[in-house]
Structure 1
Amino acid sequence: MTEAAALPGRPRGGALSGQATARAHCVLAPNPSPMTLDGTNTWIVAEPDSDRAVVIDPGPLDETHLQAVIETAERAGKRIALTLLTHGHHDHAEGAGRFAELTGSAVRALDPALRLGGEGLGAGDVITTGGLELRVVPTPGHTSDSLSFHLPADAAVLTGDTVLGRGTTMVAHPDGRLGDYLDSLRRLRSLTVDDGVTTVLPGHGPVLNDAQGAMEFYLAHRAHRLAQVETAVEAGHRSPAEVVASVYADVDRSLWPAAELSVRAQLDYLGEHGLIED
C-alpha cells in the first residue's frame, strides 16, 4: 500500500528497469496497480566478474516476465544460480516455483512453505553465491516473514515491501505487527548509520539514494499516523473503518481496504502499550 508522501532521495536515472548499482539490475514486472506502483521490481544481483547471479523476488506468475529476467541475466553472461524471496506475497513470490523450473535454481525464503530445494534464511546468514556477499536482515512488520538483503559492496539494501521507492507501505494485519515494523525500520536505519548504507533498492518504485533520509522519513511518518489514530479514537471513532475515514482521508479510497489493515495494526499497538482502552 502506498500513500501520498514524498520520500527523500531521487531515483537514479529515473528508469525503474536497468542497472541500479554495480551489482544490482532491476527487471520491472508488468503488474502495475495502486498496490504495486509501477510493478514488482525483480532484482538480478551478481559480482561484475562472476558468471553466476542471484535473483531476488521473481515476481508474479507471468511467463513473459520470468523469461525476461532469465534473458537479461544471460545477456550479461550470467546464469541464475539462486533465487531469494523477501516475503511471500504473490506479487513477489507467485512465480518462484516456475522460475525454479526454468533456471534449476533453489528458492530460499524465511517461510518454509516457500522454499524449493534450498535452506531457510535467517538473521546472520550470508549469501556468497558467485563471490557475492548478501547479508540477511530480518525485517518483519509488513509481514511476519519479511526480509531485507544488505549488499555491502554497493552500500545498498534490498528492502522488498518494507521500504518502497515511492510513498509508504502497509502493515498487513494480523500477520504484520506495527511493533515489529518499527523495530525493523530502526534496524535498517542502523545500517545507514553504522554500516554506510546509502542506497535503497525497493520491491516497488524507484531506487532511493538517500537511505538514511528514507528511514527517518518512514519512522516519522509512522509516528505521525499513530498519533492521528490515537486522536481519532479519542474523538470517538472506534471501528477501524471509522478511523480510516478520519485519518486516511488524504489517501485514494481504492487504498482504504489496505489502510484498514494498517489501522488494525495501529489499534493493536496502542492497546498493547496502554495508550487506548481495548
Structure 2
Amino acid sequence: MDPVAPFAAVLRADNPGPMTLDGTRSYVLRAPGAAGCVVVDPGPDLQPHLAALADAGPVELVLVTHRHADHTGGLARFRALTGAPSRGASPEFSAGAPPLSDGEVVEAAGVHIEVLATPGHTADSVCLVATAGQEAAVVLTGDTVLGRGTTVLAEPDGSLRDYLASLDRLAARAGELRAGAPVAGLPGHGPVVPDLGAVVQAYRTHRSERLDQVRAALSALGATPPGADEALPDELLEAVTGAVYADVDPSVRAAARSSVRAQLEYLRGR
C-alpha cells in the first residue's frame, strides 16, 4: 500500500485491461493517529486484494464512487470480511447506512469527506473531497477524472450534458480548494493527478474537440442527429464512430461507440 497524502494510501488491484489501465485503485483514508479507516472503492472480487485492504483496518466505513464492477465487484465479500457499512449514491451499494447525498459531509476515521455528485460517466458517479486536520484536501475522482487518458461516458446512463456540468463543478471546487498549490486528484485508475483543475480544463477542451469531430462527421455523411423523440439509428452510430475513432484499438471500440452515442444524444438535445 502506497501513501498518496498524509491521510491517504492506495492499493492497486491486479485487474489490468483496456478500461482499467493498470488496475483499479482502492484508497484507504485515515487521519494520523486514528485507529480505524475508510476504504473507498474496494474494487473487483479478488481475494488477495480484499484481504490486504481488510488488513489495513479496522474499517469503519466503505464508500463507493460509482456502480461499475471493477470498483464494486468485491463489495459484498469486503463487507463480510470487515463488518463495515457501505455507502454509495445508489441504494444498491449501501448497506447498514443510507445512500450518499450530494453536498453531505461524512466524518469517519478522523477524515472530513465532502460528497460531490458528478454524474456523466455514470448517473451515480460521485467525487469525494477529503482532508484531515490542517492537511491540504485531495479529491477522489473515481472514473470522472482518470490518471491517464480520458473518461468513457458509459451506457446506458452516461450523459455528456451531465458530464460537462460535472467538469465545471469540479473545476470550480478545485479553484476554491487551491491554497497556494494545485489540488491533487486521486483517480480510480492511473497515477495521482498533481493538478486536478488543469486536467479538468483539459478534459473540457477535449470534449469540445470531440463534439466538433462528431459534427464534422455528420456533415460529411450528410446526416443530422435524430429528433428528441426519434430512435438513434444504429447505422448512424456506427458510421460516426468509424469516422471519429478510425484508428481506435478494437479492444476499446465498444467504449468509443458508447461515447459517440452520448455525443449524438447531446447534439440532438441542443
TM above 0.5, one fold? yes
Alignment of 1:111-190 (within 5 A): 111-152=90-131, 153-190=135-172
CA distance in 2, matches of 1:246, 1:59: 34
Q: Does structure 2 conserve the Cα–Cα contact (< 8 Å) formed by 1:156 and 1:199?
A: yes
- How big is each residue's C-alpha offset from its partner over 1:125-179, in whole Å with a ceiling of 9 and x where there is no partner? 1110122101000000000000110014432100000000000010013311110
Q: Which amino acid aligns with 2:188?
A: G
SS in 2 for 1:20: strand
The match for 2:217 is: 232
Shift of residue 237, structure 1, vs aligned partner: 7.2
What TM-score results when the alignment is normalised by the length of structure 1?
Answer: 0.88
Q: Does structure 2 conserve the Cα–Cα contact (< 8 Å) formed by 1:237 and 1:243?
A: no
- How big is each residue's C-alpha offset from its partner over 1:70-128, in whole Å with a ceiling of 9 and x where there is no partner? 22x1xxxx411100000110000011111011001001011111211111101111110
SS in 1 for 2:5: coil
CA distance in 1, matches of 2:94, 2:244: 38
Shift of residue 52, structure 1, vs aligned partner: 1.2
Shift of residue 230, structure 1, vs aligned partner: 1.0
Alignment of 1:2-151 (within 5 A): 18-71=2-55, 73=56, 78-151=57-130
Aligned residues: CA RMSD: 1.3
Shift of residue 243, structure 1, vs aligned partner: 1.1
Alignment of 1:250-261 (within 5 A): 250-261=247-258
Q: Which amino acid aligns with 1:41?
A: R
The match for 1:10 is: none
Q: Does structure 1 conserve the Cα–Cα contact (< 8 Å) formed by 2:24 and 2:71?
A: yes
Q: Are 2:264 and 1:267 aligned?
A: yes
The match for 1:246 is: 243
Give ranges in structure 1 of 5+ residues lacking alignment: 1-16, 274-278
What TM-score results when the alignment is normalised by the length of structure 2?
Answer: 0.90
SS in 1 for 2:11: strand
Q: Are 2:205 and 1:223 aligned?
A: no
CA distance in 1, matches of 2:202, 2:59: 35
> Greater shift after overlay, 86-95 or 116-125?
116-125
The match for 2:226 is: none
Give ranges in structure 2 of 5+ residues lacking alignment: 224-235
Q: Which amino acid aligns with 2:32?
A: P
CA distance in 1, matches of 2:100, 2:247: 38
The match for 1:3 is: none
CA distance in 2, matches of 1:56, 1:231: 41
Q: Which has the higher contact order (CA 8 A, sep 6+)?
A: 1
Q: Does structure 1 conserve the Cα–Cα contact (< 8 Å) formed by 2:102 and 2:115?
A: yes
SS in 2 for 1:154: coil
SS in 1 for 2:109: helix
CA distance in 2, matches of 1:136, 1:172: 21
